[in-house]
Chain A
Amino acid sequence: MSGTNTSPTHHTSTIGAIGAPSRRNTELALLAFAVVIPVFAYANVGLAINDSVPPGLLSYGLGLGLLAGVGHLAVRKFAPYADPLMLPLATLLNGLGLVVIWRLDQSKKLQASNTFVEAAPRQLLYSAMGVALLVAVLIFLKDHRVLQRYTYISMAGALFLLVLPLVPGVGADIYGAKIWIKIPGLGTLQPGEFAKIALAVFFAGYLMVKRDALALASRRFMGLYLPRGRDLGPILVVWVISILILVFETDLGTSLLFFGMFVIMLYVATERTSWIVFGLLMSAVGAVGVASFEPHIQTRVQAWLDPMREYQLSRAAVNDGVVHSEQAMQALWAFGSGGTLGTGLGQGNSDLIGFAANSDFILATFGEELGLAGVMAILLLYGLIVERGVRTALAARDPFGKLLAIGLSGAFALQVFVVAGGVMGLIPLTGMTLPFVAYGGSSVIANWALIGILLRISDTARRPAPAPAGNPDAEMTQVVRP
């Protein structure tokens, strides 16, 4: 490269990802902001319902602040180059969820029901466990590539977790969906939430090895690359498993989540649009097929197509062997009465939804009390988390990390879509929880762990690359640390 000397300056250049500075202080500032907003909301709810600032304001504020602080210190210590936005976004969503759960706890109507428990203190406890798990992930998972070694173990683990709710004596059938397991003395757990992460690890490890075979061996037909018959194997197996989940656990959401996650990762790994087409066709065929004989799914589809009819059937207490639900219509009314700017926190009537108001239907409360403007902001917060995940995948240097990050953020996005779409009447309603916001221990804990893994990958991806070993072209490949 002596030729470079003709140039007056001996500049060469390297292309590197932006963001080599760690930006931990940005994260701290955003975290402070993310703690202040829920405290404001908490005070607002108290003033609206009881005409006074709630007595627990300080302890809730401190509790959330403490969680955020612990998370931040752990990131500063163990993942100094991690993405600065994920932690604040997750903290804000968790805080807003806590406030709305507390607001629903104050409802006289819900307190009158015989299954009422104070959900907010429990949710705070679950959040603390979630953050503890995040810290544990950051401490013990020094390098996400370690997970690659456990590709097939995580597959076995995921399948085990998925089958667990079906085991007699362990599983609990709650309102038609068999997705919980009972842990004596501790309550119930949704193993599907944890299976999500294990499956993402398995898919990433598997596709990293097999993607060349899946991408290259194909015929071109009508503008699509058709994969060879034998390469269809894996997608067929995953499809069959997700159909089995649908049939035996009657859980449309989880089934859609797993299949969707696999298709997304397959597409990212192979760059073949045909997988998306195949995936959509197969999920459509599967959903229609199962819905034709599974009464639980049929009711959900009925409630989606004509929520008003279901509402009337439920009100009239028609006894035709299936449970009719008035919730779908109630959720739509809640969104409708919220309008553009909402009724204000603590001033809506979304507690009329009654059952599951603070878990599956929590978005309806946001819709009523914060209106379209508030729900859009919430969805944007989710969008930003997903964007950071995809960004992490783009920046990651190893294919396993790329696939894992895209799989986890894809699963996160799908989960938000399935829940929000279900509550808003875009797709049939499924029993899933809105990540971080909805009441439910498994969901909060698993999603904090998911954020922990994404933080670990982004730390590895954004960390300035070590200087390469000397080679004949060292002059050209030297990396500059700003």
Chain B
Amino acid sequence: MSELTLTVMRLGFLAVLWLFVIVAVQVIRSDLFGTRVTQRGSRREAGRQQQAARQAPPQQRQQSGGGRRGRNAPTKLVVTEGTLTGTTVALQGQTITLGRAHDSTIVLDDDYASSRHARIYPDRDGQWIVEDLGSTNGTYLDRNRLTTPTPIALGAPIRIGKTVIELRK
């Protein structure tokens, strides 16, 4: 067997071996990031909503979103302090509930949180709103205790007990 053939086979074998490793990594890539938020309700509906937001006249967008939407619309919710630090939830037009109840979207393991503490949802124009659900210790946006549903600015800290969450792009 010629030297050349053997060299080609040697390098070819290493390439194939690494190809397998790379393919295997590709297969698990989707698994790596743990959990995902499954939306209830059809994807079509969500798509329609997004489309509607895009088609909305720019002026109205200015009014409703305070210029924060469109390109600056938040796409995820990030927990920045507390035991769940680092957790992110993608914002796809769904309501996010926070509290100690086991069926909340974000289950808070926090002595100062109520079982149904607060919820975050998009209003008719897609602006994200935080609402306190009558919690014992209150929900704070920046430093103000919430009394009414309040629009959330990008990056403003929402504090529940020891947990702080933010909306980010």
Query: Considering only CB atoms, which chain B residue lies closest to A43 in the complex?
Result: B9
Q: Are A374's CB and B27's CB within 8 A?
A: no
Give Cα A391 to B37, complex, Å.
Answer: 18
A7-B95, A18-B36 known; A40 vs B16 contact (CB < 8 Å): yes
Q: Are A380's CB and B40's CB within 8 A?
A: no
Give Cα A373 to B10, complex, Å.
Answer: 11
Q: Are B13's CB and A16's CB within 8 A?
A: no
Q: Are B25's CB and A13's CB within 8 A?
A: no
Give the residues in chain B near A320, CB-CB below 8 Å.
none
Contact of A347 among B6, B11, B45, B95 (CB under 8 A): B6
Give the residues in chain B near A478, CB-CB below 8 Å.
40
Looking at A82-90, A133-141, A198-206, A241-249, the stretch in contact with chain B turns out to be A82-90
Q: Are B94's CB and A44's CB within 8 A?
A: no
- Size range of the interface on A? 35 or more
Asked whether B64 is an interface residue with its Cβ less than 8 Å from the other chain, the reply is: no
Give the residues in chain A near B41, CB-CB below 8 Å.
9-11
A124 to chain B, nearest CB (A): 21
Give the residues in chain B near A88, CB-CB below 8 Å.
24
- B: number of interface residues (CB 8 Å): 53
Give Cα A48 to B101, complex, Å.
Answer: 66
Q: Are A12's CB and B94's CB within 8 A?
A: yes
Give Cα A8 to B11, complex, Å.
Answer: 59
Q: Are B9's CB and A47's CB within 8 A?
A: yes
Q: Are A30's CB and B27's CB within 8 A?
A: yes
Q: Mark A336-363, 1 if CB is under 8 A from B, else 0.
A: 0000011111010000000000000000
Give Cα A29 to B81, complex, Å.
Answer: 43
Q: Mark A433-448, 1 if CB is under 8 A from B, else 0.
A: 0000000000000000
Give Cα A363 to B11, complex, Å.
Answer: 19
Give the residues in chain B near A89, CB-CB below 8 Å.
24
Q: Are A384's CB and B39's CB within 8 A?
A: no
Contact of A17 among B18, B20, B35, B94 (CB under 8 A): B35
Chain B residues within CB distance 8 Å of chain A: 1, 5-7, 9-14, 16-18, 20-21, 23-25, 27-28, 30-31, 33-41, 45-46, 49, 89, 92-97, 101-105, 119, 121-124, 131, 133
Chain A residues within CB distance 8 Å of chain B: 3-4, 6-19, 23, 26, 30, 33-34, 37, 40-41, 44, 47-48, 51, 84-85, 88-89, 92, 341-345, 347, 370-371, 373-374, 377, 380-381, 384, 387-388, 391, 394, 473, 476-478, 480, 482
